[in-house]
Structure 1
């Protein structure tokens, strides 16, 4: 988490545009370094206080969410579907750590929102990581919508295909079969179907096959290769 926070801090610092923002950011980092219950309460207030810059909310949500404080949940969900991929990726990582039971439902809603398709990559990836009951139905629905659309978001469709293959759930077979008919998705869909038919999804132990007998020489002793 320390490296992730450093990356976040560097990204925020590069976006600041005035001396006032720079001083405010330095004060926020000093608050984070305190690490006390009182400091955590101040961070929580930043999440809901009016006129707080987004970088301050993001920093506070990162710190609180990484510490398991579920008051960060709403801000992290907002950032999960934001227009800046770096913010989406950071929010997804913290949400995965946070372990809030609302996370999968929120990610599924974002992944299947037709008005936010262009920003749904990280919700899709989070659903794959969570492997929650909502994951497969949401990924199938998002993929089927892309297959039926006139203007398709191919990276989003591919993320759904790859995610369904990684999860390895047979409920995805019809949608993946349809995806395999599209040249841009055919290879990924074929690989996903192969993983499902072979039981090679996430969490599935690969089939090691029958145990091999060691090679022997003419005397019957094991031969070293």
Structure 2
């Protein structure tokens, strides 16, 4: 966690643009270093106080969430689906540590929201890590939506495929079988199916592929698909 906090601090410091912001950030770090119950209460107030900069809320949520304080939950969920991937990744790691029972439901809602698909990578990865009751149904729903879409987010679809393979639940077999018909997903889907069924990897319903061929085939396919 110390290394993660250092990375967060450096990222925030690089985004500050005025002497006032730099001074406010230094004061916040001094508060964090106190590590007292009173300091924690002040951090919790930052989460709900008006006109607080996002970097201050993120820092406070990181510290509180890493300490198991569930008052950080709402801010972390907001950051989990934010437009900046670094903030999403940090929030996902802290939410996994926090252990709040609401986390899986929140991640599932974000992963399956069709209006936020472009920002759903980290909610999807969090669902895979949590292995919660919501994980497989949400990943299947997100994958099926991508397979049916006109403009697909291939990174999101692939994350669903790989996550379902990692979880290894047989309920994912129909969606993964459908994903295997798409050249950009065929190798990953075949590998996921093999993990679930224990059988040799196949792509696109064809014969079993020799080891190592899937990655090359996928790259050739990607060159042909706009």
After TM superposition, the score normalised by the length of structure 2 is 0.88
Query: Does the alignment pair 1:72 with 2:69?
Result: no
Pairwise mapping of residues 78-89 of structure 1 onto structure 2 (< 5 A)? 78-89=78-89
Asked if 1:198 corresponds to 2:191, the answer is no
Aligned residue for 1:51?
A: 51
Identify the residue that residue 39 of structure 2 maps to in structure 1: 39
1:212 corresponding residue in structure 2: none
Map of 2:113 onto structure 1 = 113
Tell me, yes or no, if structure 1 residue 9 matches structure 2 residue 13: no
Moved over 3 A (4+): none
Following the alignment from structure 1 to structure 2, what is the Cα–Cα distance between the partners of residues 198 and 137? Answer: 21
Instruction: For residue 198 of structure 1, report the CA deviation from its aligned partner.
Output: 1.8
What is the SS of the residue equivalent to 1:152?
coil
Residue equivalent to 1:186 = 186
Partner of 1:122: 122
Residue 192 of structure 1: CA displacement?
A: 0.2
RMSD: 0.7
Q: Give per-residue Cα distances to partners, 1:1-28, cap 9 Å, x unaligned.
A: 0000000000000000000000000000
Please give the alpha-carbon distance, in whole angstroms, between the structure 2 residues aligned to 1:68 and 1:177.
40
> What is the aligned residue count?
199
- Structure 1 residue 144: deviation in Å? 0.2
Give 2:93's aligned residue.
Answer: 93
Report the Cα offset of residue 57 of structure 1. 0.1
**Counterparts of 1:195 and 1:125, CA distance in 2:** 18
For 2:6 and 2:166, the matched residues in 1 are separated by 30
* Structure 1: gaps (5+ residues): 200-225
Aligned to 2:104: 104
Partner of 2:38, secondary structure, is helix
1:77 offset after TM fit, Å? 0.1
Alpha-carbon distance in structure 1 between the residues aligned to 2:140 and 2:76: 24
Question: Residue by residue, what CA displacement relative to the aligned partner does 1:119-150 show, whole Å, maximum 9, x if unpaired?
Answer: 00000000000000000000000000000000
More helix by share: 2
